[in-house]
Chain A
Amino acid sequence: MHKILHAQYLAPDIKLFRICAPKIAAKRKAGQFVIVRVTQKGERIPLTIADSDMAEGSVTIIVQGIGKTTKQLNQLNSGDSIMDIVGPLGKPSEIHYYGTVVVIGGGVGTAIAYPTAVALKKAGNHVISIVGARSKELVILESEMRITSDELHITTDDGSYGTRGFVTDLLGNLLNNGRKIDLVLAIGPIPMMKRVADVTRPFNIKTVVSLNPVMVDGTGMCGGCRAIVDNKTVFVCVDGPEFDAHKVNYDVLAKRNRAYLLHEKTSLELFLQQHEDAFRQGMIEECKLPHAQRY
């Protein structure tokens, strides 16, 4: 059992946890992930490590409640425990001095991009960050990204905050204005990553995406997380999770991620029926926090 040392909503359905895991906290590098199992009968889900605190012995994960497991996890609070956390898994991000780098986080993907942005900044890069969300209340880690970026741009689909539009619009503007960009890192929903790859391809800019396929063991043993990169099958858990954005077959990735859609729906419906009241109360209390009081 691993104790939750701190838990806090950052936005509706998006919650930050610091979980006691001293070994992982000491070892993890930007870009790596953990596999978490919430309960005895729970599934194993991969979550990217957003941050760690070696003094506290904790790793930070940021979870968007979408299916049963993530919603169940988001029900937990400081002092509660989760069954298992294992890692750090996957290859770390390749951190070098590239020059000017653009870090793009779409939705909760910002939490995954954040540690790599920090590492890239530390390596001396000029970091331009673009944080995208559907609307103002779903923008996360704004202050953290601001501290670690030389330039921060925010886009919202509905224009309720920052620039109205998509992250790719901003990226396109930068490129069309002749900004010299040496690396683009894009993490978010699959269609967003695909569009970013399409935008940078004509400019021949090295572009990296972090893939989040269905996974079971996370150590290469099952091959469930396979994806096609450069027309070859890769195991994302041991060969990735970061790959050359221009070589990923996004179509296969998106299709494979829908393999268990019906199961996910069944699980979630059952869970919501069983926990309706507690779930609703928990959500309402936490998410009414004014923006400034959030993490």
Chain B
Amino acid sequence: MEKVVGKGRLSIPRQKMPEQDPGKRIHNFDEVNLGFTAELAVQEALRCLQCRKPVCIDGCPVQIKIRDFIALVAKGDFLGAAKTIKEDNMLPAICGRVCPQEEQCEATCIIGKKGEPVAIGRLERFVADYERERVGLSVPAIKAKNGKRVAIVGSGPAGLSCAGDLAQKGYEVTVFEALHELGGVLTYGIPEFRLPKAIVKQEIENLAKLGVEFVADAVIGNTDTIDELLNDGYSAVFIGTGAGLPWFMEIPGENLIGVYSANEFLTRVNLMKAYRFPEYDQPIIDVKGKNVAVIGGGNTAMDAVRVSKRLGAKNAYIIYRRSEKEMPARIEEVHHAKEEGIEFIMLTAPVEFIGDENGWLKAARCIKMQLGEPDASGRRRPVPMPGSEYLMDLDVAIIAIGNGSNPLISQTTPDLQISKRGTIVVDENTGATSKPGVFAGGDIVTGGATVILAMGAGRRAARGIDEYIRGKRLPQDE
């Protein structure tokens, strides 16, 4: 391999990841990004300065040894690189795809100060895919079983990372999932074209190889309560149930047929495979040739609007009340959406949905906004412009403005401290809740956030649970 030294590194441009052509991909659910080839990966890895003090790691919620794994990629030791990543992140094929790297590791990358940062996410993805495709996923070493059992509630990113870490530490872990398929938001929420379900399945199978037991169709709070789990031989319980209670806008006409929450729309498509109706039984309103608007500016909104395009929508809109600059979605997702012909209607909000006599959505009355003073979120507050209302023809509207907290566990666990927003209150370092032996992390604690933050919380809680069970630190001692 050619050795590149000193300034030579800086002359290599950031390598582009091959992707499916937009004209083709709007007709299928296959993955948009195709991943680096080995050559592209090595070229990209050579751009890394191998900083003595790698600040990229500070940007990573789970502190992957980024510099070290990139050095191994540059040497062509892709399996070694995979091993290095997995010391800190059990699910790199997933994180390499869905992490907002531009706000995390890549945001702190030194070369990014002057030019474009090293494409850390793309490298992570390449390494994970390489390992999986060439040799299969490696099963990390696990400590001898210690005979202690831990229950994990929810098989999304928080639960999976917590389960993986605890299994490695020698615990007998059972993961409970309310739906019939495992993976939580990775399965029902994020579409196939952004995160292939086969990858999620393999990562979960790999955890099963570590000895993690998975129980689907178990709604904790109903099927078993937290107290019943604790009385049933589990030394600790981790709650990672996500933010499962979609918000609506509370405007007239919101219960018309054709108004979906993003959760419902995406669940019908991703989990229930409604796009393959009638081969699969679950239906979804046919959007072929119709006007679809997604209300919201986050990643979920981008997922929903791009799904509707793939289902054949004639016009697929994003309606967002602030400007594009304030949109919380990843830049890459916005970029991909635009390439696919999604129309962005900014500084606009629906104030009413209008239906026909049979209760089907026909139009939305929208109002224009302008940006005022910054609000509590630090973003400029959208202010309605009087007299700017107009009608927009619409067949399907998908509300993607976030989630509240699901009440099933808090209702049946009265001694669990809940915030005013309905989220579970925890100690930030350990994930410990107000109830001894019960830990929590992910969206049920933070409100809607990202996959990697949930994974980070799952890992912290795994350490917290380990310390709690080994008696080093009890929540009541604090």
* Least CB distance, A35 to chain B, in whole angstroms: 9
> Considering the chains assembled together, what is the distance between the CA atoms of A230 and B222 in angstroms?
26
User: In angstroms, how far is the closest chain A Cβ from the Cβ of B301?
Assistant: 16
B223 within 8 A of partner (CB) = yes
Residues of B in contact with A, size category: 35 or more
Q: Which of B254, B267, B273, B408 contacts A233 (CB 8 A)?
A: B254
Q: Does B299 count as interface, using CB distance less than 8 angstroms?
A: no
Task: Give the residues in chain A near B282, CB-CB below 8 Å.
Answer: 43-44, 216
Distance between Cα atoms of A146 and B191 in the complex (Å)? 52
- Distance from A15 Cβ to chain B, minimum over Cβ atoms (Å): 19
Given A220-B244, A222-B246, A223-B248: A83 touches B180 (CB 8 Å cut-off): yes
A: contact size bracket? 35 or more
Alpha-carbon distance A92/B260, docked complex (angstroms):
27
Within 8 A of A (CB), among B194-223: 216-219, 222-223
Interface string of A66-93 (1 = CB under 8 A from B): 0011000000000000011111110000
Bound: A69/B283 CA distance, A: 12
Q: Is B372 an interface residue (CB 8 A)?
A: no
Shortest CB distance B52–A (Å): 47
Chain B residues closer than 8 Å to A68, beta-carbon distance: 281
- Knowing A37-B180, A217-B178, A252-B359, say if A238 contacts B264 (CB, 8 Å): no
Interface centre among A86, A252, A266 (most CB of B within 10 A): A86
Closest to A69 in B: B281
Within 8 A of B (CB), among A243-295: 252, 255-256, 258-260, 263-264, 266-267, 270
CA A180 to CA B277, docked complex, whole Å: 52
What total count of A-B pairs have CB within 8 Å?
A: 122
Measured between beta carbons, the chain A residues less than 8 angstroms from B330 are none
Residues A220 and B408 in contact in the complex (CB < 8 Å), given A233-B255, A255-B257: yes
Shortest CB–CB separation between residue B275 and chain A, in angstroms? 13
- Report B-chain residues with C-beta under 8 Å of the C-beta of A264: 283
Interface of B is mostly: loop
Closest to B406 in A: A220
Task: Using known A-B contacts A233-B254, A238-B408, A256-B359, determine if residue A41 contacts B180 with beta carbons closer than 8 Å.
Answer: no
Measured in the bound complex, the distance between the Cα atoms of B272 and A39 in whole Å is 12
Residue from B282, B359, B407 whose CB has the most chain A CB atoms within 10 Å: B282
8 Å CB contact of B261 from A27, A42, A222, A266 = A222
Residues of B within 8 Å of A224, CB to CB, are 260-261, 264
B250 at the interface (CB under 8 A from A): yes
Does the CB pair A221–B281 fall under 8 Å?
Answer: no
User: Given that A37-B180, A256-B257 are known contacts, is A27 also in contact with B281, CB under 8 Å in the complex?
Assistant: no
B286: shortest Cβ distance to chain A, in Å? Answer: 8
Q: Residue of A at shortest CB range from B283?
A: A263
Is A226 engaged at the interface, CB distance under 8 Å to the other chain? yes
Contact flags A36-50 to B (C-beta < 8 A → 1, else 0): 010101111000000
Closest to A32 in B: B222
Query: Are the C-beta atoms of B267 and A41 separated by less than 8 Å?
Result: no
Verify B219–A223 contact, CB threshold 8 A.
no
Q: Is B178 a contact of A258 with CB atoms below 8 Å?
A: no
A219 contacts chain B at the CB level, 8 A cutoff: yes
| Residue B351 CB within 8 A of the other chain | no
Give the distance to chain B from A258, nearest Cβ to Cβ, in Å.
Answer: 7
Is there an interface contact between B408 and A252, defined as CB atoms closer than 8 Å? no
Determine if B248 and A233 form an interchain contact, defined as CB atoms under 8 angstroms apart. yes
CB closest residue in chain B, given A40: B280
Please report A residues at the B interface, Cβ cutoff 8 Å. Answer: 23-24, 27, 37, 39, 41-44, 68-69, 83-89, 216-224, 226-228, 233, 235, 238, 252, 255-256, 258-260, 263-264, 266-267, 270
Give 14 A-B pairs besides A87-B223, A219-B178 with Cβ atoms closer than 8 angstroms.
A23-B223, A37-B180, A41-B273, A83-B180, A217-B188, A217-B267, A219-B219, A219-B408, A221-B178, A222-B246, A233-B248, A233-B254, A238-B407, A260-B283
The 4 closest A-B pairs by CB, nearest first: A255-B359, A263-B283, A222-B264, A221-B244
Write the residues of chain B forming the contact surface with A, with a CB cutoff of 8 angstroms.
178-180, 188, 216-219, 222-224, 244-246, 248, 250, 254-255, 257, 260-261, 263-264, 267-268, 272-273, 277-283, 285, 358-359, 406-408
20 chain-A/chain-B pairs, Cβ below 8 angstroms: A27-B223, A37-B180, A41-B279, A44-B180, A44-B272, A68-B281, A84-B217, A86-B180, A88-B222, A219-B178, A219-B408, A221-B246, A221-B406, A222-B263, A223-B248, A224-B260, A228-B255, A255-B359, A263-B278, A264-B283
